[in-house]
């Protein structure tokens, strides 16, 4: 009787392994469409040119604002505190805007 149970268990294990091998080869043979140059250009998630050189902006507008007082605004710091630009009056301030994730 033990031999029969052992043989059945062995057959179940072998069947399970065969099924897993067949499933694994099934996924590896999926055909994916070939990526064409046109498809790559139209892909909105393509980040290859994200940091490419950008055209130079006209700096005359920015140069005219140098030395002038910035408008007051309020932001929330990374610590959750409310920070107003006017609270830094008389100090040098660098504003860094990160483009995010």
- Using the structure block, give the residue that is written with the tokens 């610590």: 79
pLDDT higher than 80, residue 38: no
pLDDT range class, residue 30, cuts 50, 70, 90: low
Q: pLDDT of 1-10, one tens digit each?
A: 688 888 888 8
Half-sphere exposure of 52 (CA within 13 A, CB side): 6
Higher pLDDT, 41 or 45: 45
* pTM to 2 decimal places: 0.34
**Average pLDDT of the residues of the chain:** 78
Element (H, E) at 82: strand 82-84
């Amino acid at each position: 009787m033990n031999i029969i149970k052992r043989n059945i268990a062995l057959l179940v294990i072998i069947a399970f392994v065969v099924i897993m091998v067949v499933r694994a080869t099934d996924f590896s043979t999926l055909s994916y469409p070939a990526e064409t140059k046109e498809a790559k250009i139209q892909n909105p998630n393509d980040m290859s040119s994200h940091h490419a050189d950008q055209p130079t902006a006209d700096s005359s507008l920015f140069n005219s604002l140098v030395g002038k007082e910035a408008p007051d605004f309020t932001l929330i710091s990374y610590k959750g505190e409310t920070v107003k630009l006017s609270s830094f009056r008389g100090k040098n301030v660098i504003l860094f805007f990160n483009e995010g994730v």
